[in-house]
Structures are given as structure tokens and as C-alpha cells.
Amino acid sequence: MTELSTKANRHLWGHFSRHGAGITPPIITRGEGVTIWDDRGKSYLDGLSGLFVVQAGHGRTELAQAAARQAEKLSFFPLWSYATPSAIELAERLASYAPGDLNRVFFTTGGGEAVESAWKLAKQYFKQTGKPGKYKAISRFTAYHGTPHGALAVTGLPVFKAPFEPITPGGVRVPNTNFYRAPKPYANDSKEFGQWAANRIAEAIEFEGPDTVAAVFLEPVQNAGGCFPPPPGYFERVREICDEYDVLLVSDEVICAFGRVGSMFACNDFGYRPDIITCAKGMTSGYSPIGAMIATDRLFEPFNDGKTTFAHGYTFGGHPVSSAVALANLDIFEREGLNDHVKENAPAFRTTLEKLLDLPIVGDVRGEGFFYGIELVKDKASKETFNDEESERLLRGFLSSALLEAGLYCRADDRGDPVVQLAPPLISGQQEFDRIEQILRGVLTEAWSRL
């Protein structure tokens, strides 16, 4: 064991991590492009962009330089009744990418905080406009929206809630858009399935009472459970429902924004206009932490009277250094055409991953852009999944370490049915796609032989 490993085992408390019983975390020391290295000098293809974050790739010195230039000029100042040039410029830039009149940018330091901010805004907005009973938030089964208590109440993963109950009241769940697991009447028609899933939102609003529901939180492509794209017409119908019941539509794009699906904001890819966008991760390609809630002019109006305050904020929200890094990162996007690169290469990524469907353990390959999930099954014909013990043995006992040892950093996830998730940096191309497929093929073949 190295000196760093010893220190990590003694002092570092990992996030969503297991400790003890001889577990020592791999230590990643540097990155360049699509490659990362550990403290032993072993290299890996970063098949998850860190954590759906490093869009422009590792080792971008101009982003580090942007941070240094800003820190030399102004290292920190809060946005509490003050403003800084980089935060102002970034707010304007984000508003220019957002659809419609989503012109008001409230900065946070990450995605969970952005979701928390969106729910708080929804609650206060309705109080300010004469509908104080509207406080509930609807989201989908298995969806992950963050760990703060409010965001956790929006999250649709019971196992994450149990240790922290009682949770903030008001979270309501509806079916997700996993077409692979669609109910039998809709299993052969994705559009009909999409209408059915969307209509469950209307049903939930009616059941809870329209005068109690403030917002619907939906990811453009749902992450947890393994990359569920929206069926055709789904978001169009959801928008109609939200308008009918005066409920805010929140597009949670913490993962999907900034090129992951092919545009700066994925709501543009799927043709819908939300009332609020939440975003974070890829805004700086991970070179400095930042997040944002972007709201429509209509939602800002009750706070634009010279006396009403949105009583919410974060010390480091819109940090001047992070804002400067985000601006430099978005310059890279535009200069190098990263969004167009994703759109042009996404079909090849899908085609390459779909080669894995010939393996008996691979039930489904699904996703959009550079964001894919591969669902693992015990029986392809029946779509039978693994039980908890088998999933524990398969994912944590073998796959995670075997994939890393084979040179691929990605995610083996069982927050829903077992999946392998992939989200390589947006600079990736066919060479990286082929390597991902080859490594997965070898490791998944070995996994099947061990069952």
C-alpha cells in the first residue's frame, strides 16, 4: 500500500463510497484528453467524463489559466446584493443559449443546489402570486435529483432516502420513460408509451390536487436506472399538462446540458420549453465547481418590485473564478464545435455500442448523444433481471474492478436494474468508441461465464 493510500484510508471519507474490509480507493493523479492515470502510472480511458463532467477533456491549460487570471484580479466576492463582471457575463451567456424567455440566472455551486433552488423558487413564486397551497414536486421513479433534503425529496430512489427520514414533505412519484420495461399494452409503440407516461403526471396532479402541486422535475434523459430517453411526443404532452394545471416544468439538465446530448441545453434537442432549467457539471468541464438555476422572466417578475427578496443563496454561488472558467470553457465549445461534434458522432457511438447486443448478458442499449446505458439481464427473452445478491456479486464484486483493470473507467450502477453507464468526453471519436466496445465485450463475456 502506498503512502497516499494509507492517508486516504485514515482520513478521507469518500462520497457514496464503501469503507473498511480492506477497501482502498483507486487514486487518480492526472488526466490528458480522454485518458486518466492512477498513482501507479496505469492509464484508463475516461468513459464517464469524471462524473458526466469533463466535456472538453482533461488537461486544458487555458481553463487553468483563465482561473489564475481571474484569481489574480478578484479571487472572491459574493453575489449577495453585489455582482462581479464574470458572473454577469456568464449569466448573459447562459441566457443566450436557453430557449424562450429563460433569462434569469441564479448561481449555485453544484447541481443538487440548483434543484434545491428551483423547488424553493417554485414554492415562493406561488406564494407571491396568490397560490400559497402549491408546494409539491412531482418526479419520476428511480430518478436522481441530488442529496440536499429538498432535492432528496424530489429524488425517486427510496434507498437514498431511508437513512435521512423524515424527508422534506411534498415529493410525488410517477412512472419513468424506460421503454425497455414498458407495460405490455405499450411495449411495441414508443409514442403510445410516451403518452401513457406523460398522462400519469396529469393523473398525479389530479390525485394530489392541482392547488397543491408546484412543479414537475424531469431530466431530458433520465440518468439513474440507465439513460431513459423521452419517447416521441412525451415532453410536448408534459408541457400541455403543466400549462393546464399551472404547474412549473423544471428541466433538470445537471447531466444533459452543455453538449452531453448535442446542444447547450437538451430541452432544445427534444423541442420543449421549460419554466426552469437546472444545470452544473459540464458548465466548466469540471475545472471549477459551479451550478445554476435559470428561470423565465415570468417567474422573476414577483421579485422585481424593489422590495421582495428570494430569501435563498450560497456563499460560493457564481464564484468569480468559476464563472471565468465557465466562460473560457464555453469559448472552447464554440471554437471547436463540440456540440456539432457530438451530433455528428452520436450515431456512430450508438452503432458501436449496439454491437454488444449479441452478448447474452446485454438486454438493452439506450441513450442519446454521448450518454448511454447498457442494461444487463439474466435472460434476454424474458428480460429477467438479477436479484439483489446476484447484482451485488456482478456489479460490485466483479464488474467495477474488472472494467477498471481492463483500462476503462465507467459506471456499473444498480440504482434501478443493473446497467453499465457511459459518457465519454465530448472530444471522443470512433477510436474511443471501439476501445470502449472491445473492453466491455471482454469483461461482460467474462461476467456471463461467472454467473
Mean pLDDT of 133-160: 96
Higher pLDDT, 451 or 340: 340
The interaxial angle of helices 234-245 and 190-208, nearest 10 deg, is 20
Percent of the chain with pLDDT over 70: 100
Q: In sequence order, what are the residues at sequence separation of 6 or more whose Cβ sits closer than 8 angstroms to the Cβ of residue 49?
A: 55, 282, 286, 423, 424, 425, 426
- Give me the pLDDT at residue 388, please: 87
Q: What is the average pLDDT across 133-143?
A: 98
Q: What cell was used for 145? A: 435529483
pTM of the model: 0.97
pLDDT at 156 over 80: yes
- At residue 413, the pLDDT reads 86
Cell of 158: 427510496
So what's the pLDDT on residue 422?
98
Q: How far apart, in whole angstroms, are the C-alpha atoms of residue 205 and residue 150? A: 19
- Give per-residue pLDDT as tens, 216-246: 999 999 999 999 999 999 999 999 999 999 9
Instruction: Give ∠ CA 288-291-295 in degrees, rounded to 5.
Output: 155
Could you give all domains of the chain from N- to C-terminal order, each with its CATH number? 63-336 (3.40.640.10), 340-449 (3.90.1150.10)
Q: How far apart are the first and last CA of the chain?
A: 31
pLDDT given for residue 392 in this prediction: 87
Q: Distance from CA of residue 109 to its chain's centroid?
A: 15
Tens digits of residue pLDDT in 82-98: 999 999 999 999 999 99
Q: What is the pLDDT of residue 412?
A: 92
pLDDT at 1 over 80: no
The answer to whether residues 342 and 262 touch, using CB atoms and an 8 Å cutoff, is yes
Give the separation between CA 332 and CA 421, rounded to whole angstroms.
Answer: 26
Residue 136 vs residues 150, 365, 443: alpha-carbon distances, Å: 11, 34, 44
What's the per-residue H, E or C state across the chain?
CCHHHHHHHHHCCCCCCCCECCECCCCEEEEEECEEEECCCCEEEECCHHHHCCCCCECCHHHHHHHHHHHHHCCCCCCCCCCCHHHHHHHHHHHHHCCCCEEEEEEECCHHHHHHHHHHHHHHHHHHCCCCCCCEEEEECCCCCCCCHHHHHHCCCHHHHHHHCCCCCCEEEECCCCHHHCCHHHCCCHHHHHHHHHHHHHHHHHHHCCCCEEEEEECCCECCCCCECCCCCHHHHHHHHHHHHCCEEEEECCCCCCCCCCCCCHHHHHCCCCCEEEECHHHCCCCCCCEEEEEEHHHHHHHCCCCCCCCCCCCCCCCHHHHHHHHHHHHHHHHHCHHHHHHHHHHHHHHHHHHHHHCCCEEEEEEECCEEEEEECCECCCCECCCHHHHHHHHHHHHHHHHHHCCEECEEECCCCCEEEECCCCCCCHHHHHHHHHHHHHHHHHHHHHC
Q: What is the pLDDT of residues 65-83, one digit of tens each?
A: 999 999 999 999 999 999 9
β-strand pairing of 171-174 with 136-140: parallel
